[in-house]
Amino acid sequence: MPDTTNELSQQPPIAAIATPIGEGGIAVIRVSGRGAVDKVQACFKGKDLTQQQSHTVHFGKIIRKDGSVVDEVLATLFRSPKSYTGEDTVEISCHGGVLVTQAVLETILEQGVRSAEPGEFTQRAFLNGKLDLDQAEAVADLIHAKSIKAVDAAHQQLEGRLGKHIKQFRQQIIDAKAMVELELDFIEEDVEFANKKQLRKLLTDLNEEIARLLDTYETGRLVKDGVKSVFIGRPNAGKSTLLNTLIGSERAIVTDIAGTTRDTIDADWSYEGLLFKLIDTAGLRETVDVIEAEGVKRSQKAFEEADLVVYLKDLSLPLDAEERKEIAEFQKRAAQTPFLLVGTKLDLNQRNSTEIEERIHYDLKISAIEEQNIDDLKKLMKQRSLENKDYDTSSLLVTSSRHRDALQKARENVQRAIEALDQGMTGDFLSIDLRSALKELGTITGEITNEDVLDSIFSRFCIGK
Ligand SMILES: Nc1nc2c(ncn2[C@@H]2O[C@H](COP(=O)(O)OP(=O)(O)OP(=O)(O)O)[C@@H](O)[C@H]2O)c(=O)[nH]1
Ligand SMILES: [Mg+2]
C-alpha cells in the first residue's frame, strides 16, 4: 500500500450522495475525512455530534446558515479507524427526494467539504489500508454484478480469498529469494549449492500453483462478464424469435421478411445464476443493400468475439451446399469457440411429410414459437459454453484480466528462475527474476501500484462508493 495516509489527512473531507438519484424512502449522504464530524455539526441541530461515540445514530435537523431547516435526518457516526474509509465518517439519512437530498448535500458542501470523485470513498479505504486493491476492485464487481454467480465471485474476492493466495505466493518467493541470497554469500568460499534441490521444488510447486489459479480465469471471466452467445444463421432462420423466447419479451422485431434484423441486438439473460449476453445478428447472406451489408459485417465481428456460437437452421427448408460449408467451418473452429447447431421451426418440420434427408448432426431441434425443447436448449447452452472449463464456482475464481495478466507475468518470471537454476546460472540472475515475480504479484493486492492504475480502477465506481 502506498504511504499516502499523511497526505490524505491534510485534505478536506469529501461528501457525496451514496444512494441512487431518484425518489425513494430515504437517501444517504456520506461525509468522510479528517474533521468530517465538525463539518456536519456546523449545520446540524440536535445533540453535539462531536461529543458522541463511534457507531451511534442521532436524530436532528440539517439547517442552513439563516437557520431554516433543510430536512430532518438521522446521522450515523463512525470514528476513525472503524469506518469503511478508515477516516471519521458521518452517514446522513434524509428523506429520499431528489431535491431534498441535493439540498442536504449542498448545505454540507458549504461547510468547506469537497464533492467526492467516483469511487473516492473506496480509494480512501484502500489508501488507508482498510482494503487491498483486489478487494476494492471486488466492491465495484459486486455493485456491477449481473448474476448471482458474479455476486458470489465478487464476495469471495472481497473476503480476501484471492489476496490470501497472492500473499502466500509472495511468501514462497521471499523464501526462495532468501535461499538464493544465502548461496550468493557462499559463492566466494566456493561452497556447493546444497539447497538447490529444495529450491527447485519450491519454485516448481509455486509455478504449478500459479498455473492452477490462472486456469480459473476462463470460468471467472464468463461468470463476471457473462457468456457472449451469438445467434447466427440465414435470414428468417428464427434468430430474433429465439432471442425473444429466451428473454420472455419482444426485444427484437420479428417478421416473415428475410433481412428483418439489420443491426446486432443485445439482451442480458440469466440462467441458473449464470449471465448470458445474447446477441441476435443480421442473417448471413450476400446482399446489395448497404444497410444490410453493414449488418452482416457486424454479425461477423460478433461471432469472432463470441464465447458460444449458436447456428440456427430452418428445418423446413433444404440445406444447400453453401450453408453446409458454412456450418462445417464453425464446427472446425469449435475447439476455440464452442458451437451449437440448432434446427428451428420443428413444428413446421413435423408437419412436413417430405422432409429432406440432410445427413447432418443437429445438437438439438427446437420450435421457438411453440416452445418445444427450449429447456433443453438452455441446458445445452450452459453446458457447451462451460465445456472443458473447471466450473466450480464455490472455489476461488480469478475474474479480472488485470489479475490474470499479473499472474501470467509472475509465472513467466518464476519459470525463468527455474531455467536459470537448471542452467547453473549464478544466484543474482535468479534474484532478478524472483524480484520481478514479487513485483507482479504485488500489483494485484496493491502493495505496488501507480496513479494510472488506481485512476482506471476507481473511475469504474459510482459516486458515493
Ligand atoms: N412455425 C414457426 N415459425 C417460426 C419459428 N421461429 C420463427 N418463425 C417465423 O420465422 C420468421 C422469421 O423469424 P425471425 O425470428 O424474424 O428470423 P431471423 O432469423 O431473425 O431473420 P432475420 O432477422 O431476417 O435474419 C417469422 O415469421 C417467425 O414468426 C418457429 O419456431 N416456428
Ligand atoms: Mg432477426
Question: Could you give the 3-state DSSP secondary structure of residue 14?
Answer: strand
370 and 300 co-located in one domain: yes
Burial classification of residue 47, based on how many CB atoms lie within 10 Å of its CB (0-12 exposed, 13-18 middle, 19 or more buried):
middle
pLDDT band at 187 (very low <50, low <70, confident <90, very high): low
Centre of ligand 2 from the C-alpha of residue 63, in Å? 58
Centre of ligand 2 from the C-alpha of residue 345, in Å? 14
Looking at residue 393, its pLDDT comes to 67
246 and 351 co-located in one domain: yes
CATH number at residue 265: 3.40.50.300
Q: Which helix (H) or strand (E) holds 186?
A: helix 161-186
For the segment 48-53, the average pLDDT, to the nearest whole number, is 97
Q: Which domain holds residue 255?
A: 239-386
pLDDT exceeds 60 at position 191: no
312 and 340 co-located in one domain: yes
CATH number at residue 205: 1.20.120.430
The pLDDT tens digits for 229-255 are 999 999 999 999 999 999 999 989 898
The pLDDT tens digits for 107-161 are 999 999 999 999 999 999 999 999 999 999 999 999 999 999 999 999 999 999 9
- The residues with which 311 forms a beta bridge, in sequence order, are 232, 341
**Nearest protein Cα to ligand 1, atom 3:** 345
Grid cell 471467472 in the structure block, residue: 220
Q: Which of 112, 121, 114, 95 is nearest to 38 (CA)?
A: 112
Q: Is residue 188 part of a domain?
A: yes
Task: List CB contacts of 353: < 8 A, sequence separation 6 or more.
Answer: none
Cβ atoms of residues 36 and 84 within 8 Å: no
Q: Is residue 463 part of a domain?
A: no
Q: Is residue 189 part of a domain?
A: yes
- The residues with which 339 forms a beta bridge, in sequence order, are 309
114 and 152 co-located in one domain: no
Distance CA 340, CA 384 (A): 8
**Nearest protein Cα to ligand 1, atom 32:** 345
430 and 408 co-located in one domain: yes
Task: List CB contacts of 192: < 8 A, sequence separation 6 or more.
Answer: none
Q: Is residue 59 part of a domain?
A: yes
DSSP string over 293-330: HHHHHHHHHHHHT-SEEEEEEETTSPPPHHHHHHHHHH
111 and 64 co-located in one domain: yes
Among 8-12, 258-262, 415-419, the least confident range: 8-12
Distance CA 103, CA 96 (A): 11
Task: List CB contacts of 49: < 8 A, sequence separation 6 or more.
Answer: 37, 40, 41, 58, 60, 75, 77, 90
**Nearest protein Cα to ligand 1, atom 21:** 236
Among all bound ligands, the one having the nearest atom to the CA of 259 is 1
Q: Residues near ligand 1 with C-beta < 6 Å?
A: 233, 235-241, 254-256, 258-261, 282-283, 344-345, 347-348, 367-369
28 and 114 co-located in one domain: yes
Strands 227-233 and 308-314 turn out to be parallel
Mutate to test the pocket of ligand 1, among 234, 254, 349 (most ligand atoms within 8 A of CB): 254
Rg (CA), the chain: 29
The closest-lying atom of ligand 1 relative to the alpha carbon of residue 370 is: 31
Looking at residue 71, its pLDDT comes to 97
Q: Which of 209, 143, 135, 156 is nearest to 393 (CA)?
A: 156
The pLDDT tens digits for 257-268 are 888 888 889 999
Q: For the chain, what is the mean pLDDT? A: 90
Q: Is residue 224 part of a domain?
A: no
Q: How many domains does the chain have?
A: 3
The pLDDT tens digits for 431-465 are 999 999 999 999 999 998 888 888 888 988 888 88
Q: Give the residue, 172 or 392, on which the prediction is more confident.
A: 172
Centre of ligand 2 from the C-alpha of residue 277, in Å? 16
Distance CA 39, CA 126 (A): 23
89 and 203 co-located in one domain: no
Dig out the grid coordinates for 360 from the structure.
447432418
308 and 177 co-located in one domain: no
Cβ atoms of residues 134 and 444 within 8 Å: yes
Looking at residue 353, its pLDDT comes to 42
**Distance of alpha carbon 52 from its chain centroid, rounded?**
39
pLDDT exceeds 50 at position 1: no
| Residues whose Cβ atom is located within 5 A of ion ligand 2 | 239-240, 260-261
Q: Is residue 246 part of a domain?
A: yes
Q: Is residue 336 part of a domain?
A: yes
CATH number at residue 106: 3.30.1360.120
30 and 82 co-located in one domain: yes
